[in-house]
């Protein structure tokens, strides 16, 4: 499950198997909202499949093994040209180059506002 987070500044996951491309190394320390820290031991791309058959490629995802959740940064989506709309238990993402709408509700199970 991935959580769309309006408070995080980057995409992050503790699970290496989600990456479609990956570079390991020492990428510093990630400071979390609970004042905890986690080393970032890798960075790469993650491709997510939605229930509508659409794929979303998240670039520059940080691999931090001590993070508890898979987080999608709304800020990074905005910076990547996505238009975000919340409502009726759904997040709809659209871009100038996208025909149709990405429906995240079924993929994430629930949306948490952080």
Instruction: Tell me which residues are annotated as active site.
Output: 5
Say if strands 83-87 and 12-13 run parallel, antiparallel, or are unpaired: unpaired
Q: Where are the beta strands (DSSP E) in 28-114?
A: 29-31, 37-39, 42-49, 55-63, 70-73, 83-87, 90-94, 102-103
Helices (H) and strands (E) counted in the chain, each on its own, are 2, 11
């Amino acid at each position: 499950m991935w959580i769309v987070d309006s408070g995080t500044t980057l995409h992050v996951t503790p699970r290496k198997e989600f990456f479609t491309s990956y570079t390991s190394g020492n990428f510093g320390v990630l400071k979390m909202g609970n004042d905890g820290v986690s080393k970032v031991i890798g960075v790469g791309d993650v491709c997510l499949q939605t229930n509508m058959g659409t794929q979303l490629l998240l670039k520059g995802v940080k691999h931090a093994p001590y993070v508890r959740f898979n987080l999608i940064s709304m800020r990074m989506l905005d910076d990547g040209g996505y238009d975000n709309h919340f409502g009726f238990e759904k997040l709809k993402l659209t871009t100038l180059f996208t025909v149709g709408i990405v429906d995240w509700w079924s993929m994430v199970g629930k949306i948490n506002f952080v």
